[in-house]
Amino acid sequence: MKIYLRHLKSERITSLLFAIFLLGFGYLIVVLYPEIAEIQVIKNYFEAMPEFLKAFLGEEIIDFTTFKGFMTVEYFNTTWLFVVGIFSCLMAGLLVTEETEKKTLEILFSTPVTRTGYIISKFAAFLTLLVFLSIASFIGIYLGMWEIGEQIDKSLIFYVFFSGTICMATIGSIGLLFSCIFNEQRLAISLTIIVFFSLYLFNLFATFLEQYPKLKYFTLFYYYDASKIFKREAICWPDIGILVGVFTVMFMLSIFFFRRKEIYL
Amino acid sequence: MSDSNSIPIQTSGLTKYYGSSLGISGLNLEVKQGEIFGFLGPNGAGKTTTIRILLDFIRPSSGNARVFGLDSNRNSPKIKSRIGYLPGEYGMYEKMTGFEYLRFLGSLRGYEKPPLRDSVIELLGLDISKRIKSYSHGTKQKLAVVQAFMHDPELLILDEPTTGLDPLIQQSFYELMLEMKKRGKTIFFSSHVLSEVEKVCDRAAILKEGKLIAVHEMADIKNIRLKSIEIIFKQEVDRAIFKLNGVRRVEQNANTIRLWVDSNINGILRRISEHPVENMSFRDASLEDIFMEYYSE
């Protein structure tokens, strides 16, 4: 608990800045929607897009000029995904490596703290910060919707954030694994970012390659898609299940490696 | 409590390789309850490697290490609740104040206020109200000493503890060690400062290239210590004439010859008298001389 609280405290400023940005951007994008939806040029531009390009912006194509379509394209599947994705890569990549580099582990582990307990505490703190960002994002969207009088089911917005948070936690678990294996903060963060963007690009290319329809199942981002939730008006539990499965495997591997890691300073 | 549980540190055939390079080899060591045990050796001799295995930071390639009769790897948290540790190299949470840092580490050991915290702070003259990032190296070392002693551990493992402490504080630190010993605590500390080992230790082990080459009671070392004889001859003599029984080492600088001898004093004096002598002095060899003797073998 002490390690959990210490980590929350040490990362509070960065997390607060990200949260303010997401809240502000969410609010802004929602209040801009009525005007943008009315611009005929944008409507025409979107309608003229080739199908595969539309597919980039959501597995289940929905109308860009509707609020749900607009939010999917401008926010959930793009801005939010990248901002929170980068946050996850940075925060998870430094969970252990920051202490390895700063040489604080030796005194810390001279106390009765177990290595497993340490990893659980640090990752729990990361998850808390992730949830905090999602709540800030939700509030931004909610305030925006209240401002423009948009009346869509709030639970759908909640489902999207819930799926997104699970997806980002999974990205975080990959970062944690790198952080447990390597000693350099920069290396662990870089590798997590590379995996993050590779999975995203792989998702896009998998959409292109119609002759290999099963390829898309091998990328995490297939399992988080706001358009799917908006279209079906329900949360996709099998997708959540797969994300949680990957998360669990990565988390267990992190503990496995960290318990065996030799701490050289 | 069984016998093995009362032995604070026990290693058996402890060996550690880093890839193909040797850290320590076949280390058999036993530290007794209530003693101050010095662990001597130059950089790279394997002192820190041994300490890191005891604390489960690294794992041995073979052999085993037991602390209070418990395996250092399998029972690490249990062991750590009974020890205090001062690393040779460390980092601290720089944004915290000294007070916050000690409170944090104390809380990990289950203490609201560790019993010896304030008295050790007072002894070392440490100001814990400032942020750690503003501390000098010496002040950080004081803080590291406090965190190691503050919970009144049964065993203290100290890796080169006086590095960075000024001489006055070093003296206070030795007093603190002796006070802990009086209270029945065990101290295992590595050092290459022989005078401090001589000052506070009951026994000392000498490590060379990863191997334990000697373990001595300090009293025995003092009893068996070498004599150092410095002779200034009127003219230069061949150092080879001192290849005699009892002469452990010879150093020559022009007309001056320095001998370290452990026996056969009469025979050596006879050989000296064969040449005109300008001056001559005897003294007990220092621990450093004894130490050098081991390393020259």
Tens-place pLDDT, residues A128-156: 999 999 999 999 998 988 888 877 788 88
Residues of chain B contacting A114 with CB distance shorter than 8 Å: 76-77
Q: What secondary structure, in 3-state letters, does chain B show?
A: CCCHHHCCEEEEEEEEEECCEEEEEEEEEEECCCCEEEEECCCCCCHHHHHHHHCCCCCCCEEEEEECCEECCCCHHHHHCCEEEECCCCCCCCCCEHHHHHHHHHHHCCCCCCCCHHHHHHHHCCCCCCEHHHCCHHHHHHHHHHHHHCCCCCEEEEECCCCCCCHHHHHHHHHHHHHHHHCCCEEEEEECCHHHHHHHCCEEEEEECCEEEEEEEHHHHHHHCCEEEEEEECCCCCHHHHCCCCEEEEEEECCEEEEEECCCHHHHHHHHHCCCEEEEEEEECCHHHHHHHHHHC
**What is the pLDDT confidence band of residue A74, given thresholds at 50, 70 and 90?**
confident
Which of A156, A158, A173 lies closest to A230 in space, CA to CA?
Answer: A156
- Judge whether A147 is closer than 8 Å to chain B, CB to CB: no
Residue A59 above 60 pLDDT?
Answer: no
On average, the pLDDT of chain A sits at 86
What's the mean pLDDT in A14-32? Answer: 92
Task: Give me Rg for the CA atoms of chain B.
Answer: 23
Average confidence (pLDDT) over A114-122: 95
Of residues A110, A262, A263, nearest to B80 (C-beta): A110
Indicate the Cα dihedral angle B94, B56, B48, B25, nearest 10°: -160
Which pair of tokens denotes residue A60?
A: 């289940």
* Residues within 8 A of B (CB atoms), A 4-43 only: 6, 10
Chain A residues near residue B89 by CB distance under 8 angstroms: 103, 106, 265
Residue A109 to residues A19, A122, B105, Cα–Cα distance (Å): 32, 14, 10
Q: Is B57 within 8 Å of B131 (Cβ atoms)?
A: no
Q: Looking at the whole model, is its pTM more than 0.80?
A: yes
Q: Which pLDDT belongs to residue A73?
A: 81
pLDDT-based confidence at residue B2 (cuts at 50, 70, 90): very low
CA dihedral A170, A171, A174, A180 (to 10 degrees): -100
In this prediction, residue B188 carries a pLDDT of: 95
Q: What is the pLDDT of residues A226-256, one digit of tens each?
A: 888 887 878 888 889 999 999 999 999 999 9
> β-pairing, B36-40 with B21-31?
unpaired
Local confidence band at B12 (pLDDT 50, 70, 90 cut-offs): very high
Using CB atoms, pick whichever of A2, A103, A108 lies closest to residue B107: A2
- Confirm if B54 and B9 have CB atoms less than 8 A apart: yes
* pLDDT of A61 above 60: no
Task: State residue A253's pLDDT score.
Answer: 96
Angle separating helix axes A154-181 and A185-208, nearest 10 degrees = 130
B-chain residues within 8 Å CB-CB of A107?
Answer: 85, 87, 90, 92, 105, 144, 147
What does the pLDDT look like over A197-214, one tens digit per residue? 988 888 877 777 777 777
Nearest CB to B77 within list A112, A260, A263: A112
pLDDT tens track for B55-83: 999 999 999 999 999 999 999 999 999 99
Task: Specify the 3-state DSSP secondary structure of A234.
Answer: coil
Mean pLDDT across chain B: 87
Which pLDDT does position B1 carry in this prediction? 44
Query: Taking 80 as the threshold, does the pLDDT of residue B95 lie above it?
Result: yes
pLDDT 10s digits, B238-284: 888 888 888 888 888 888 998 888 777 888 888 888 899 999 988 76
